[in-house]
Every structure is written in structure tokens, then in C-alpha cells.
Amino acid sequence: MQSRPMGSQMFSRPENDGRIMDTWERFLGGVRGENNALRQLIDDSWQRCADASVDPGIDQGPEPIDEYLLGELREEHQELLSAGTPVMAEAREFLSETGTVMVLTDHNGIILNLEGDSSTSLRGATERIHLLPGSEWTEANCGTNAIGTALTLGQPVQIHSAEHFCSGIKRWTCSATVIRDPYDNSILGVIDVSGLNGSYCRHNLALVVTSAGRIENRLARFEMDHRYRLLEYCMRRLTSGTGDGVIVLDRRGRPVKGNERAASALQRLGETARAAGSLKLNDIMIGSARGEEVPAQLPGWIKPEWLEPVMHNGQRIGTLMTVPNPGGRYMASPAGPAIDLATVTDKGSFKRVVGRDKSILEAVGRAHQLAKSNVPVLMLGETGVGKDVFARCMHATGSSKDAPFVALNCGGFSRELLTSELFGYSDGAFTGARRGGMVGKVEAADGGTLFLDEIGEMPLELQPHFLRVLEDGEVYRIGENRSRKVKFRLIAATNRDLRQEVEAGRFRMDLYYRIAVTSIRIPPLRERIGDIPILADYYLEKLAQRHGVQKGELLSCALEALMRYNWPGNIRELRNVMESMLLTAPSHMLSAQFLPIDIQEYSGTCRDAGPSAGETTAATGDGRLIDVEREAILKAIRANAGNMAAVARALGIAKSTLYLKLKRFDLEAFVEGVRGSQE
């Protein structure tokens, strides 16, 4: 049925209840007459109910489905629930004393979730009419009601009291609207606010419309996240040297992106007997599939072996299709569940990144793979983690390694100064301008890499101008009307959560999605404590060479203190500490007393006995204390089944200290044995 314009039809008018009730009774008696009190959408709905033989005496919705089926249904609509949960949580506070509840349903009108006033009287009323999770509130089941009628019309509706078709539901007032898929505008479900007659509020309709809009916005962000994650996972294959057509399809089986050979591969395929007529990228539709299954409605011209599922956290986020291109090199995908970014063991240009922790190696592997493509990369990490080092390594690994690498920190500049630094200016563009003008960083990076650190600090009013440069590949110097063509690889970095900045209105969403095609998270130093000895030794050696002094050696208590510290300044702070200790200690033996006072106070450092004292203790055979310590650790490991966090708590020491002692007493294998015996 065609939806009618809302206009004056939108809101119920409680003052007309009596006349509407009379009209309903005549309607059931077969009398159809004009009544100005009855809105057309209600009249139409009653007619649909009569045509569907809905019992007007119904006093409740259907019995809810059982918990198992409801659980499966919620799992199927997990994304809708995830988008709706925070919106409904806020509504719970807002509706807590209004005598109303907010209801979220799926596209079939089955209630998935319910929040709001939890008073005993309202809870009893909702239970009596089965306004509960698992109950299906369509017009065919419950007559005219906001949920079912909104689903039928696909628009916001308000149904009050006598306007309901079934007598047992006429004590209620409800407002609802549909939630649409931001991808294809299909109806995903309904958001509804319902309560007993006395809770009628004209503004409840505005509340559900606003709530639906917020849910749809969250769904749109989810969709964008899925697509960018999908592209990140598939970028290596899209930019590989294969002669075949490579096409990335989203989780619905629709094309997102193809490589340079995709169009020609499809054209050649369309000219063969396998497909009728020409084929274009937008013609592909393979349908959705779960896990590693082959889509059920696969077009006949697509061979199942061309398809490879792309998985993330056990869920299928898309499909990679490789279309053989005659004359090209077809590289069949290896059998396996998912395309993922593997750790690269051969660091190449990334040798500057020091460490063996899994998190840093994964970041290196990701950067190594993305370095050879020209897609924008967003580096995520706290101040001092080495984002600039990663950027330089990516440039040195990429195809433009012999071209310029231009870096600019967007923080600490005024809007005017940052504008001139980025775009440059012409001669005489403003008072104080350099004679002959100045080349901006964007122009200087032409053919190479532009690294913008702290891009989250870029003023909001400057962001659309930089976005235009990225989209058009042209830059205008300040004071000039002539554009200059530029082509560069963008690597941006930030220590802010740009998603939150977008939501707060401090960063443009379109610029965020333009610069965050792929991202790399660089872990903070506190998440890779095991790398501290390696990093400390690396900097001590480099700094000793720079200053022409003997390389320092950290004593045990100093190293323990470093591993207990939380490192707010990350690797940059560690380097500065090593340099300070190396230059201030009277000998090359670096004890805890030469650590900065804030590290000593934070870590509660012990006193280093010095190498001679430690060696003397061991040499004299005074090992009784060591034996007692070792036995205490063994006992704690057994008691806590090898759980290192629990062992450290039981011994009253830091987890980092515990690992040092495990290494000292050669107990790593013992720990693994205890853990293995528990499995």
C-alpha cells in the first residue's frame, strides 16, 4: 500500500476518544460512514484488520516465543540491538517515572528488547497484554497498534486508546516509527513508546523519531566500520601484482572495490558463454552468507572457487572474489578461513622498530604490508610511542622511497600559521610574507609521503580545505587562484580518539573516513613491558656511541623499577631516562639511585647492592635465602595453577618483577608444565 502523507494525520487527538469509540462499534456492525474524528490512517488500518479477519475481541498479543528461539533471534539482529541498546538505556532514565516503556522490534514486529518505567503496576499491565520480548505485534496479530501499523505504512504513527482495533488493547497509547537500514533503506525494525491511556504525550512521537534517527546513525557508523575494516584486510590482495581481477564484496555480497584488472576481467568474462552480455562491477550480487559457506543464490557465471570469505573475530565481514583474467597470472587463494594481516618476520626498513613483543610485531607486520600501497594510513597511539618512526619506515619501504618525506606536526600552530605551512603562499599574500612566497608542505610532498602528526589538532575550519586537496589532488597557495597538481601518500597520526572527536563535532566525519582508510595501532610501552630491557640496552649502546662514553649496564633493581613504571611518555621518555642515567652516573654500572625521582617514587625501588655484593653473596654459598625465595615462588605457582597475575598478588610483588625472578631461577618451563597439567 502506498503510504499517505502525514500532515495532520500524524498525531492522535484524545478528546475524540468517545466519537472514535462510537465509530468503531458501528464499523464492527458493518456501518461505514464519514466521521471527522477518525483519521484516515486509522480507518485504513481497521479495514485491513477486517479484511484479515482479525478478532476485535483480542485482549493481548501472541504468547512470546521460547527463550531459545528468542536468543537466536537476538543473535540474528545483534547489530540492531547493539545500535539500539545505548539509545534505549538513556530512554530508561527518561521514561522511568512516566508510566511508559520503549520497545525495540525486528522487521517482523517481534519484540527484541524493552526498557522504561519498571513500576510494578506497569510491569503487570505489559505482562497481561504480552508486551514482552518474543511477542509479535503485527496488525495481523494484534489489530491496529503503533508497532504493526508503522511496519505496514513505513512511517511514524501514533495510536491512542479507542483508535486500536482490538478491544483489549484500547486502554493503551503508543507511538512508533520504523528503523531503516542506512545501506538500502529497507525496514530493520520498529522503535515504540507505549503506556496506559493516562500516559499520553504528543511528544512521544518526536521521541521515537529522534531515537530511530540515532539508531540509524549508529548503524551507518557500523556499516562504515565494516567496510573500512574489510578494505584494510583486503588491501594487500587489491594491490598485489596479479593479472586477475580482484573484487571486494561486502557482507551482503555487493561490490565495494575492485583492482585495476577487475573491469577488463569482467568484460572478457561477459563476452564468453559463461555470462550473457557485458558485465560491470555494479552488476555483481552474490548474496550474503555466514561463516565460510558459499552464498546460496550464487549467479551461474561465478565459480565457487573464485570466492574467499573474509573473517573478523569469527564473523564474516565480506568476500574476496578473484576473476581469472586470460593472459594474466591467476593466483588461486590458499584454502583457509580468513584473510588476515600476518606478522612480518623480515622487518626490512622496519629494523628501527626495536622490540619482540607480539603487539609491536603485529603493528610492524601491518605497516610492512600497507607500505607498498598508496592508501592513506592513520597511525593511532599515545605520545612518544614512535608514530614518526613507523611513518618513516613505511616511506622507506614503499615505491616512493626515493621521493620526499615531508613531516608536519599539526599541534601548536595557530590556524593561520598551519594554513600557510600546509598550503604555502604567494609573494605578498599577506603582511610579513616571505619574498618570493613559500612552498607548502603539501606541495613539497608531491610524489612522496606527507606525514601529518597530531592531525586531531587540525582546526575545524581548516579541515574542509585539506579534504578538498585529498579529493581533487590540487592545492592552492594562499593568495593564488591557480591550482597546482599534487600526488602524495598521506600518513596521519593522532593520540586522540577521532571517533569521539567526530561525535563531539571537533573533527569532520568526511575527513576522518578519508584519512582512516587503513589504521595501525602502535601499543604504548606499558603494554610491552618485556621489551623494556631490549629497548634500554639499545638506547644505552646508541647513546654511548653518540656521547663517546662507555656503554652503561643497568643493575637489577634499576631494571625492575623501569619495568614497574607506567611510562606516560612511552619510548621517548625511556630514551631520555637512559641518556640522563648514562651521563650522570659516576660509572658504567647504572643503579636505581640514578633514576629520575618520579620513577623511584612510583616504583618503590630497592637499593642496588652493586655487582660485587651480589656476586659475593652467590659465591659464598649463602643461598639459603635464595632457596626460600625460589620455593615460595614454586608454591605460589602450584597454588594458582600457573596464573601469573594471581601468583604476583599472592607474593605481593609486581608482575614484571615476578617475570624477572622466573628468568633468574629458570622457572619458565615449570610454569608451562603447571599450566599444561590443568588442561
Residue 387: CATH number of its domain: 3.40.50.300
Both 380 and 474 in one domain: the answer is yes
- Per-residue pLDDT band for 324 (boundaries 50, 70, 90) equals confident
Same domain assignment for residues 499 and 592: no
pLDDT at 601: 83
Question: Once rounded to an integer, what is the mean pLDDT over residues 359-368?
Answer: 90
Structural domain total, the chain: 5
* Residues 318 and 358 placed together within one structural domain of the fold: no
- Tens-place pLDDT, residues 20-49: 999 999 999 888 766 677 899 999 999 999
Long-range contacts of 27-31 (CB under 8 A, 24+ apart): 28/56
Judgement on whether residues 554 and 425 belong to the same structural domain of the protein: no
- Given this model, what pLDDT does residue 5 score? 41
Q: How confident is the model at residue 343 (pLDDT cuts 50, 70, 90)?
A: very low
| Count of alpha carbons within 13 angstroms of residue 214, beta-carbon side | 18
Give domain status of residue 337, yes or no: no
User: How far apart are alpha carbons 514 and 499 in whole angstroms?
Assistant: 13
Beta bridge partners of 476: 483
Is there a domain that residue 315 lies in?
yes
Q: Find the CATH number of the domain harbouring 641.
A: 1.10.10
Mean pLDDT of 518-544: 91
Q: How far apart are CA 379 and CA 385, in angstroms?
A: 10
**Whether residues 295 and 423 fall in one domain:** no
Higher-confidence residue of 41 and 605: namely: 41
Q: Is 459 part of a structural domain of the chain? A: yes
- Average the pLDDT over 648-672 and give the result: 76
User: Rounded CA gap, 372 and 518, in Å?
Assistant: 13
> pLDDT band at 268, cuts 50/70/90?
confident
- Expressed as residue numbers, the domain containing 139 is 7-221
Mean predicted lDDT score pLDDT of the chain:
83
131 and 197 both lie in a single domain: yes
Last residue of a domain, one of 470, 499, 523: 523
Provide the 10 A C-beta neighbour count for residue 384: 19
CATH number at residue 547: 1.10.8.60
Contact status, residue 159 vs residue 146, Cβ threshold 8 Å: yes
pLDDT at 614 over 60: no
Give 59-73 as a 3 state SS string. Answer: CCCCCCCCHHHHHHH
Q: What is the DSSP letter of 198?
A: G
Is 322 a residue whose pLDDT tops 60?
yes
pLDDT in tens, 200-249: 998 999 999 999 999 998 998 888 777 877 887 787 777 666 778 888 88
Q: Cα(620)–Cα(613) distance, rounded to whole angstroms?
A: 11
99 and 37 in a common domain: yes
Residue 373 is assigned to a structural domain of this protein: yes
Helices (H), 4-96: 17-28, 40-51, 67-76, 78-95
- Find where cell 603493528 sits: 363
Cα 584 from Cα 378, distance rounded (Å): 39
pLDDT of residue 179: 96
Q: 562-586, pLDDT tens digit by residue?
A: 988 999 999 999 999 999 999 888 8
Tell me how far apart the alpha carbons of residues 540 and 190 are, in angstroms, rounded to a whole number. 63
pLDDT in tens, 467-518: 999 888 999 998 888 889 999 999 999 999 888 888 888 898 888 888 887 8
The pLDDT-based confidence of 7 (bands split at 50, 70, 90) is very low
pLDDT at residue number 46? 95
Q: How many CA atoms lie less than 13 Å away from 577 in the CB half-sphere?
A: 30
Nearest 5 degrees, angle CA 73-CA 74-CA 75? Answer: 90
**Do residues 77 and 205 share a domain?**
yes
Query: Cα(611)–Cα(493) distance, rounded to whole angstroms?
Result: 43
Question: Residue 677's pLDDT band (boundaries 50, 70, 90)?
Answer: low
Q: What is the pLDDT of residue 676?
A: 63
Cell numbers found for residue 660: 624477572
Residue ranges of alpha helices (H) inside 478-555 are 498-503, 509-515, 532-547
Residues 286 and 301 in one domain: yes
Strand partners, 111: 105
Could you say which of 308, 323, 338 is where a domain stops? 323
Residue 615 confidence (pLDDT) above 70 = no
Residues 6+ apart with CB under 8 A from 405: 391, 392, 395, 445, 448, 449, 451
Does residue 339 surpass a pLDDT of 60?
A: no
Helix-helix angle 78-95:204-238, to 10 degrees: 150
Alpha helices in 330-386 (DSSP H): 358-370
Percent residues over pLDDT 70 in the chain? 88
pTM, rounded to two decimals: 0.52
Residue 487, all three cell numbers: 600526488
Give bridge partners of residue 474 from the DSSP assignment. 485
Is residue 230 situated within a structural domain? no
CATH of the domain at 145: 3.30.450.40
**Residue 438 and residue 517 in one domain:** yes
Residue at a domain's end among 186, 221, 256 = 221
Calpha distance 163→431 (Å, rounded)? 72
Q: Classify residue 1: in a domain, yes or no.
A: no
- Given a cut of 70, is residue 346 above it in pLDDT? no
Looking at the fold, whether 254 and 213 belong to one and the same domain comes out as no
258 close to 251: Cβ distance less than 8 angstroms: no
Report the percent of the chain where pLDDT is more than 90: 41
- Kindly state the cell numbers that stand for 18: 468517545
The model's confidence at residue 622, banded by pLDDT at 50, 70 and 90, is very low
CB 187 within 8 A of CB 154: yes
Q: Is residue 199 part of a domain?
A: yes
Cβ(321)–Cβ(307) below 8 Å: yes
d(C-alpha 105, C-alpha 110), whole Å: 5
What Cα–Cα distance (Å) separates residue 238 from each residue in 64, 262, 514?
48, 10, 18
Residues 375 and 355 in one domain: yes
**Which amino acid does the sequence have at 146?**
A
Domain presence at residue 2: no
